[in-house]
Amino acid sequence: MTDLLSLSNLRTQFRTERGAVRAVDGIDLDIEPGETVGLVGESGSGKSVTALSAMDLIDDPGEIVDGRVTFRSAGLAGRLLDEFDRGLVAYPFELIDAVYAIADDLRAREGVRDAPRELRGIADDLDNRADPAGLGSALRASADDLDGRTDPEAVGVSLASAVDDATDGFVYVDDSARARLNDGADPGALAIDEGVIDVTAAPEEAVRRIRGGEMGMIFQDPMTSLNPAVTVGEQIAESLRLHRHGGQKSDNWRNGIREILPKIGGRSGDEEVMAEVVEMLREVGIPEAQARLDDYPHEFSGGMRQRVLIAIALACQPSLLIADEPTTALDVTIQAQILDLIDDLQSDLGMSVLMITHDLGVVAETCDRVAVMYAGEIVEEGPVEEIFHNPSHPYTYTLLESVPTEEKERLTPIEGNVPDLIDMPDGCHFAPRCPWAEAECREGEIPELQHGPADADHRSKCIHESFDKTAYGTDGVAAATDTEIGDPLVEVEGMRKYYEQDDGVLDRVVGGGNPSVRAVDGIDLDVHEGETLGLVGESGCGKSTAGRAILHLDPPTDGRVVFAGEDLGGLSKSELRERRKDVQMVFQDPMSSLDPRMTAGQTIMEPLKIHGLAKGGRRQRVFELMESVGLERGQYDRYPHELSGGQRQRVGIARALAVDPDFIVADEPVSALDVSVQAQIINLLEDLQEEFGLTYLFIAHDLSVVRHISDRVAVMYLGEIAEVAETETLFDDPKHPYTRALLSAIPDPDPLASTGDRTILKGDVPSPIDPPSGCRFRTRCPSVIPPADLDIDQERYREVMFYRQRVEAGDVDLNAIAADAEAAVDATRAVADGGDHAALFEQFFDGPLTGEARDAVARSFDLVAQKRWDDARGVLRETFESVCECDRPSLSDDDHPVSCHLYTDKQ
C-alpha cells in the first residue's frame, strides 16, 4: 500500500435542532504520491467538508463521528514520535487497517461469510508478534460471535471498539523501527522506513504539525482568506516560522503584536525566513518579489492574490496540496494562469493534489483520477478518461450532460435537488432524481460494481451494469430557439459611463482633481428584437456597468440609448419609470439581490404594486409567474434562505417577468450556480424567450454558456467593444487577439482534448482610471505590432513591451532583481546571454535580443540605474513605439466588426 492520504469509511456530521446533518457519509478515497485527484459534485454534496475533514478542521457543531484519515510519511512519523511520548502504536499499520476494514464491512452487513476466517487468520498472525493489548483474543471472540449468528452490525461495532482500545497511539512504523523504539531507541536518531499517521486519532498539537507542513490548502476566495491587516510577506512567513523555524510561539499579547508588526522586538532567524518567502513568491510568479514583501492583499490583483494563497500553501513544500475551488472566483484567462502554475509547481515539487471543483472542464484538464460525490457519498471513482468517456453512474452521466459543449444541441438538466442531508432517502440517494431508478434502487445497501478494463479500477455505486443513454435528453431545450429575429430594439450609440473620484464633500461641490474612472468608454451596440446578444469579457471590463447604463439604472455620462425608437436619456423620471415596464434586469447574485425579509411571493409581487398592475388579481398573477419559471405554489411563503440557489435565481427571473417586459438584461445569471442548476436556468431563459418573444442582453464570462444561448456575441475589454459577430462565426474564426485568448482559455470537458495551442495572457486588466493609449489591449496583446523597420521576432517584442510598461510606471527595482538573480538556482541562461546587465536580460526576456533592439534595451538599463526614468522611456519609445499605442482603433464597418490594427490599413 503506497497511498499518501487515505480516507476510510469517513463520516462527518453536524448537530442541528432537526437532527444530524450527514455531510460526509462513509466515503473511501485514496491519493497516491504525485497524483492529482479531482473531487466533483453539486453544491451540498460534501466536497469541502471532505477536505476539511482530511485536515481535521471540523469545528463545533460538526465532528468526525466515524472512520479514519491516515497520512503516510516516514519523516513526519519520526518527528512526531520525538515530540510525543505516547504516540507509537504497538501494532503494524497493515494489520490494524485490515481489522478496521472488516469491522466496516460488518457494520454494512457485507463480507459476513468470510469475516470469521479472516479474523482468525489475523489472530494467528498476532500469535507470532507482540500483542500487548490482547487484540488476538478480541478477534477470535468476534469470529465466534459471528459463527454463533450474532448480529453482524453489532459485531462490527464491538470489533472497531476493541481496535480503538488496542491502538492508544497515532503513529505506525515498520516492524524494525518499532522493535528498536520499544528497546529505547531515540526517535530523532532512528531511520524509519515506513511511517503512517492516524490524523483522526492524533492530538490537536500533532495535527498542527501536519497542517501547513505536510498538507497545504488553497482556499476558494483569496480576498476573504488573506488577512487584510498583515502584509503578504508576513502571512507567508507565519507558516515557515511555525513549521520550519522554531515552531509555534506562545499565545500572548507581545507575540500577537509581533505578528502584525514583526519589526518590533525583532525575530531570530528573520533574514533566513524572509529569504525563503522571497523565493516562494518568485516560484508562484510574483515579479520583483523582494519589493512586494510589505504590500497588503488589497494592493494585489485577484490573480496575484490567488498566487499569494498558493505561496502560503506551498511555503513548507507539503507532500499534499488540497485546492478547494481555487479558480472559481477567477476569470477564464486568470484561471488558465493559475492552473498552469499549479501544474508546474506540482511537477517541480513532486506533490499530490486533491482538486475540489464543480468545473468539469478544470477536472478534465488537470486530474489523473476523479471521484464523483453526491449527498455525502462517492458514487463513482476512476481514471479521468474513464469517467468522462465511460460514465457508469447515472449521476455522473447526467452531470456531464448538463455541461454546454460545442457538439451539444440540447442541454438536459438534472431534475430536482440534492436531498436533505438530515433525512436522506433509503437505498441510492440519487434514486429520486434518477431517470433509470427501479424499485431495487430505493432499498438496502447499494453495491459497488467494477466497470471498464480490468486494470482501470473504475467503480460505480449503482445496481446497473449499464443503462440506456439514448433515451435521455429528449426533453431538453435546443441551443437555438425558433424565435424570429427582427429589427434593432435597443440601439446604443457612443455610450460612456464615467465615475468621479471624490475625496469629500468639497470635491463633490467644486470638482476634484482626480481623473474619472472610465468604466464604459464609447460603445456602440445594437440588440435586435427576439435575439440574445452575449456580452463577454474579463472582470472589470465594464460589462455589468454597461448593462445598468443601458437600462438607465445608472444613467450614462454621455451617448444615447434608444429603445423601440425612443431615446431613454430624453425621458423625465415619471416617463422613465413607466418605460421600465418594458426593460428589466436579472441580477448576478440572487442571494444579495433578494430582500431577506420578503418571501418569494412578496418579491415577485413588488413590481406589480410599484406599477399598479394586476389589481385585484396579484396573488393569482404571482402564482402564474411562479409556474412559468418552474416554482411550486408552496414556495410562495418561503424566504430566500429557505430556497436553493437555482430557486432563488428563478424568483429573480419571475420578478423581472412580472411587468411583461420586452427586453431583459441578464447579468451573469448562472455564474453562481452548479452546472446542473445552470442548465435548468439556461433552458428556462430559452423557453421564456420563445414563449414571450423576449430580447436578452446576456452578460457572462463563461463562454461555453454564451455559445449555447447567444445568437450574436460582443467582446468587451476595458470599457470598449473589441469584436462583434454571429456566435458560430466568432467561435470558429475569432479575429481580435483578445477574443482568441479568451476562447483558448476555456477549459475543455474532455481529458483527451489537446491544450497545446492555448494562449495564456500575462498581466492583469489595466486600470480604467488611466487606460493605455491607442489600443487598450496592447499592454497584454501577444500580437502587438512592432515597427516596420525593426528586426525583432514577435515574442521578444511582446517582452519588450512588458518591460516598457514597467519603465513607464517607474516600477523596476534593480536591487530586488539582483537579489532574485542571486537566489535563482539555475543562472545558466543569464550567463549564456553574456555581457552587461545579464541579470536584467534574464529577468525580462526568455530569449536573446539582438542588434538595435538589444542596444536600446541595454541603454535603458543604464539610465534606469541612474534614476533617469524619462530618458529611459525616451530611448525605448524611439526604438519600439508601435502603431498600437499611437492610434486608437475603431470597430470596422462590416459583417464581423473588430477593433484591431491587424485588420486596418493604419499599420
C-alpha triplet 687, 576, 535: angle, nearest 5°:
45
pLDDT at 735 over 90: yes
Q: Which residues pair with 195 in a beta bridge?
A: 173
pLDDT confidence of residue 856: 95
CB 593 within 8 A of CB 587: yes
The per-residue pLDDT for 502 is 61
Exposed, middle or buried by CB within 10 Å (0-12, 13-18, 19+), for 183?
exposed
| Residue 817 parent element (H or E) | helix 814-823
Categorize the per-residue pLDDT at 258 as very low, low, confident or very high, splitting at 50, 70 and 90: low
567-581, 633-647, 814-828 — which one is most confidently predicted on average?
Answer: 567-581
Whether 679 contacts 685, CB under 8 Å: no
Question: What pLDDT is attached to residue 507?
Answer: 57
CA-to-CA distance for 731 and 744, rounded, in angstroms? 10
pTM of the model: 0.83
Q: How far apart are CA 533 and CA 666, in angstroms?
A: 10
With residue 727 as reference, give the H or E element that holds it: helix 727-732
The reported pLDDT for the residue numbered 720 is: 95
Task: Using the predicted structure, report yes or no on whether residue 247 has a pLDDT greater than 90.
Answer: no
Stretch among 54-58, 353-357, 840-844 having the lowest mean pLDDT: 840-844
> Please, which pLDDT band fits residue 723 given cuts at 50, 70 and 90?
very high
Q: For the chain, which domains are there? A: 5-210 (no CATH), 224-365 (3.40.50.300), 371-478 (no CATH), 486-582+662-748+756-762 (3.40.50.300), 595-660 (no CATH), 794-881 (no CATH)
In this predicted model, what pLDDT tens digit does every residue of 455-483 receive, in sequence order? 889 999 999 999 988 878 655 444 444 56
From the number of C-beta atoms within 10 Å of its C-beta (0-12, 13-18, 19+), residue 814 rates as: middle
Backbone phi, then psi, for 775, in 5-degree steps? Answer: -75, 125
**Are the beta carbons of 77 and 196 closer than 8 angstroms?**
yes
Evaluate if residue 754 carries a pLDDT over 50.
yes
Better-scored residue on pLDDT, 407 or 322: 322
With contact defined as beta carbons under 8 Å apart, do 670 and 622 qualify? no
CB 398 within 8 A of CB 418: no
Q: pLDDT tens digit string along 766-815?
A: 888 889 999 999 999 999 999 999 999 999 999 999 999 889 888 888 77
- Among the residue ranges 277-281, 439-443, 815-819, the one predicted with the least confidence is 815-819
pLDDT digits (tens, 9 = 90+) for 174-188: 999 999 998 888 888
Decide if 448 contacts 439 (C-beta within 8 A): no
Query: Helix (H, G, I), strand (E, B), or coil: what is residue 773?
Result: coil
pLDDT at position 812 is 84
3-state secondary structure of 217: strand
Q: Are 287 and 278 in contact (CB under 8 A)?
A: no
**pLDDT of 590 above 60:** yes
The C-alpha cell 506562545 sits at: 250
pLDDT of 254 over the 60 cut? no
The pLDDT score that the predictor gives to residue 825 is 45
Q: Check: CB of residue 358 under 8 Å from CB of residue 400.
A: no
Residue 378: the pLDDT is 96
Say what the pLDDT of residue 828 is: 43
pLDDT score recorded for residue 483: 66
Q: 347 Cβ partners below 8 Å, 6+ apart? A: none
Q: How far apart are the first and last CA of the chain?
A: 64
pLDDT of residue 265: 43
Give φ, ψ of 566 to 5 degrees.
-120, 130
Continuous H helices in 457-520: 505-510
For the stretch 78-96, pLDDT in tens is 999 999 988 999 999 999 9
All three cell numbers of 848, joined, read 536573446
CA–CA distance, 190 with 180 (Å, rounded to integer): 8
Does residue 824 carry a pLDDT above 60? Answer: no
**What percent of the chain has a predicted confidence (pLDDT) above 70?**
91
- At a CB cut-off of 8 Å and minimum separation 6, what does 353 contact? 35, 36, 37, 320, 321, 322, 323, 342, 346, 366
In which band, very low, low, confident or very high, does the pLDDT at 211 lie, cut at 50, 70 and 90? confident
**What is the pLDDT, as a whole number, of residue 110?**
87
Q: What is the Cα–Cα distance from 741 to 748, expressed in whole angstroms?
A: 14
279-316 pLDDT, tens digit per residue, is 888 888 787 678 788 889 888 877 778 888 888 888 88
- Residue 289 and residue 282: Cα distance in Å, rounded? 6
What is the residue-averaged pLDDT of the chain?
A: 87
> Within a 10 A sphere around the Cβ of 326, how many other Cβ atoms?
28
Checking if the pLDDT of 365 tops 60, the result is yes
Q: What is the pLDDT of residue 634?
A: 87
Question: Which grid cell is 112?
Answer: 459476513
Question: Beta-carbon neighbour count of residue 165 at 10 Å?
Answer: 12
